Amino acid sequence: MSALRAAAEPVGGEVVVQQEPVPFTRHLRVHQDRGHTVLEFRGEIDIVAAMEIIPYLDRVTGRPGVRLVIDLSGVEFFDCSGLRLLHRARSRILGNGGHLLLVCTHPLTLRVLRVTGLSRTLPPMPTLDAALEQPGATSGSV
């Protein structure tokens, strides 16, 4: 059974709640936790996965003031396509006055984040709980 998200829309003076599927794909799980939208990337994050994730990422990061966590805990492989997703999310979130946090523990992915300098502007947290406990939950400077 897939999870559903409710969207209220006024219709003829009444509010009608429509159910819309929450993204549940091979490479992405989406849920809410402590006032944040959590995007869990899963499996191999390559060009194919990135093309699957981008529509959901853009929908979430296009909202003003969004509080987003990208959780890479379930990632087994992460290439430059994944880096582009993180950079895209960070740029869009900062442009819309939101906050972005990152969860990552995989040694090779952490190395890629350090080598590219992304770990300085988007410091990875070891767990989702650690990320959500951050005071202010900021995403670094522009």
Q: Which domain holds residue 33?
A: 23-132
**Ramachandran region, residue 84 (left: φ > 0; alpha: ψ -120 to 50; beta: rest):** alpha
User: Across the chain, what does the average pLDDT equal?
Assistant: 84
9 located within any domain: no
Q: Are 46 and 26 in contact (CB under 8 A)?
A: no
The predicted pLDDT at position 13 comes to: 52
2 located within any domain: no
Can you tell me which residue has the tokens 């969860």? 103
Mean pLDDT of 71-79: 95
Domain containing residue 59: CATH number: 3.30.750.24
Q: Quote the number of domains for the chain.
A: 1
142 located within any domain: no
36 located within any domain: yes
Three-class secondary structure assignment of 11-63? ECCEEEEEEEECCECCCEEEEEECCEEEEEEEEEECHHHHHHHHHHHHHHHCC
- Other C-beta atoms closer than 10 Å to the C-beta of 34 total 13
The answer on pLDDT for 101 being more than 50 is: yes
41 located within any domain: yes
Q: Are 77 and 46 in contact (CB under 8 A)?
A: yes
The predicted pLDDT at position 4 comes to: 38
Segment (H or E) for 126: none
70 located within any domain: yes
12 located within any domain: no
Does 33 or 23 have the greater pLDDT score?
A: 33
10 located within any domain: no
